[in-house]
């Protein structure tokens, strides 16, 4: 009951921070033993008066496991408008297939499609292949390492309204940690490092952290912090982004 009151308080306090927590590795760590999982996060904020704002955030995740394979999929849509001016417009789809080589090793292949209006990204499509290694799996602690390669095509719109197309092959390495802090509260931290194989200076780092408060088996409240670094961004785009957020997740 106390946990529920805390969740309600912060949910009312932080509605403007609500954002999509898109993390396929999080879905896998939280539901490592379940055969089928389906979850949704939905957020809608509207403000009228001195300023007019609309914010929509939708995310759906699913995981299906069998004896030797797993399938994971994620769809995300985020839109914000302020004073009739679009201030955020993102879409993302990710699908991942895994084959269990052993209790600790999984061969994985994945595809992703993405758009991000305010990073001038008209389109990003990629296909990747790699291996995930369960380094440590205890009752209160899990630690995994993934490594592989992906090939991507990115289409950017420059400030001069010209379209630039870039093909890149990147190494994809990630480290994921899942820690149970107390009953119904756990911490996740995932670090991705993605250097280009053609240019040492061209690398990306994604660091995702979230605390999960499990109200019951169907409802979870999340607090998150995310840092994204692109060391060779398109013209007019900053190298580093920070995001803070809170969201409610419904699990079926």
Please report, for the domain that includes residue 98, its CATH number: 2.40.160.40
Establish how many alpha carbons lie within 13 A of residue 107's alpha carbon, considering only the half-sphere containing its beta carbon: 5
Mean pLDDT of 89-100: 92
Is the pLDDT at 7 greater than 60? The verdict is no
The whole-chain average pLDDT of the chain stands at: 83
C-alpha dihedral, 77 to 55 to 13 to 182, nearest 10°? 0
Question: So what's the pLDDT on residue 11?
Answer: 40
Look at residue 51 in the predicted model and tell me its pLDDT: 53
Work out the average pLDDT over 33-44: 78
Over 60: is that where the pLDDT of 72 sits?
A: yes
**pLDDT > 90? residue 201:** yes
Say whether pLDDT at 86 is over 70.
no
Residue 103 CA to its chain's centroid (Å): 25
CA dihedral 22, 193, 140, 103 (to 10 degrees): 100
Is 50 exceeded by the pLDDT of residue 59?
Answer: yes
Measured distance CA(219)–CA(89) in Å, rounded: 27
pLDDT exceeds 70 at position 103: yes
Q: Are strands 185-195 and 53-65 parallel, antiparallel or unpaired?
A: unpaired
What per-residue confidence (pLDDT) applies to 61? 87
The structure tokens listed for 128 are 């990747």
Neighbours of 252 (CB within 10 A): 9
Q: What's the CA gap between 234 and 230, in Å, rounded?
A: 9
Name the domain count of the chain.
1
Give the predicted TM-score (pTM) of the model: 0.81
Kindly tell me if the per-residue pLDDT of 149 is higher than 80: yes
Count the Cβ atoms, other than its own, within 10 Å of residue 161: 6
Does 30 score more than 90 pLDDT? Answer: no
Please report the pLDDT score of residue 5 as a whole number.
Answer: 45
pLDDT at 223 over 70: yes
Extract the runs of DSSP E, i.e. beta strands, from the chain.
Answer: 36-47, 53-65, 69-82, 85-100, 105-116, 121-137, 141-157, 163-182, 185-195, 203-214, 219-230, 240-251
Specify the higher pLDDT residue, 140 or 11.
140
Q: How far is CA 160 from CA 27, 119, 120, in A?
A: 40, 14, 11
> Does residue 106 carry a pLDDT above 90?
yes
pLDDT at 233: 87
Burial of 90 (0-12, 13-18, 19+ CB in 10 A): buried
Query: The domain containing residue 97 runs over which residues?
Result: 2-251
């Amino acid at each position: 009951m106390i946990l529920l009151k805390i969740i309600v308080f912060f949910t009312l306090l932080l509605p403007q921070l609500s954002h999509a927590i898109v993390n396929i590795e999080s879905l896998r760590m939280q539901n490592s033993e379940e055969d089928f999982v389906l979850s949704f996060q939905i957020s809608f904020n509207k403000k009228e008066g001195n300023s007019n704002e609309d914010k929509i955030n939708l995310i759906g995740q699913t995981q299906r496991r069998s004896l030797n394979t797993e399938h994971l999929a994620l769809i995300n849509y985020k839109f914000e408008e302020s004073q009739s001016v679009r201030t955020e417009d993102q879409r993302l789809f990710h699908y991942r297939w895994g084959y269990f080589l052993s209790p600790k090793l999984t061969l994985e292949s994945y595809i992703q499609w993405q758009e991000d209006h305010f990073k001038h990204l008209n389109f990003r499509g990629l296909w990747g292949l790699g291996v995930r290694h369960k380094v440590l799996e205890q009752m209160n602690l899990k630690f995994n390492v993934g490594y592989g390669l992906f090939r991507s095509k990115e289409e950017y719109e420059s400030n001069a309204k010209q379209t630039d197309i870039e093909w890149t092959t990147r190494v994809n390495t990630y480290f994921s940690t899942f820690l149970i802090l107390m009953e119904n509260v756990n911490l996740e931290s995932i670090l991705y490092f993605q250097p280009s194989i053609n240019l040492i200076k061209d690398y990306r780092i994604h660091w995702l952290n979230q605390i999960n408060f499990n109200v019951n088996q169907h409802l979870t409240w999340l607090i998150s912090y995310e840092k994204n670094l692109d060391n060779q961004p398109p013209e007019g785009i900053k190298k580093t982004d920070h995001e803070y957020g809170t969201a409610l997740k419904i699990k079926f």
